[in-house]
């Protein structure tokens, strides 16, 4: 359980860094893009996507629960 929380938090951190980097290097100069025109929107979106992907990834040593009969 604790390892999966670390995967989610790691995904959030990497996603936030990736979102900020996307805004900084690519971004949207016209301001018409709702996500990439403002740095904190892009960072928050990246953090959300990273957290979702981090929640999908299972740690290598984790046991999967079997459904009850």
The Cα–Cα gap between 24 and 15 comes to 14
* Annotated domain spans of the chain: 2-56
Measured from the Cβ of residue 25, the count of other Cβ atoms closer than 10 Å reads 7
Q: Which pLDDT does position 60 carry in this prediction?
A: 67
The Cα–Cα gap between 13 and 11 comes to 5
pLDDT in tens, 6-31: 889 999 999 999 999 999 998 887 87
On whether the CB atoms of residues 5 and 12 are closer than 8 A, the answer is: no
pLDDT in tens, 34-54: 888 888 999 999 999 999 999
């Amino acid at each position: 359980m604790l390892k999966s929380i670390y995967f989610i938090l790691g995904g959030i951190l990497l996603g936030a860094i990736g979102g900020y980097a996307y805004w900084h290097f690519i971004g949207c100069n016209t301001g018409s893009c709702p996500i990439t025109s403002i740095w904190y929107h892009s960072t928050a979106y990246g953090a959300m996507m990273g957290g979702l992907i981090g929640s999908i990834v299972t740690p290598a040593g984790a046991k999967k629960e079997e459904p009850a009969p």
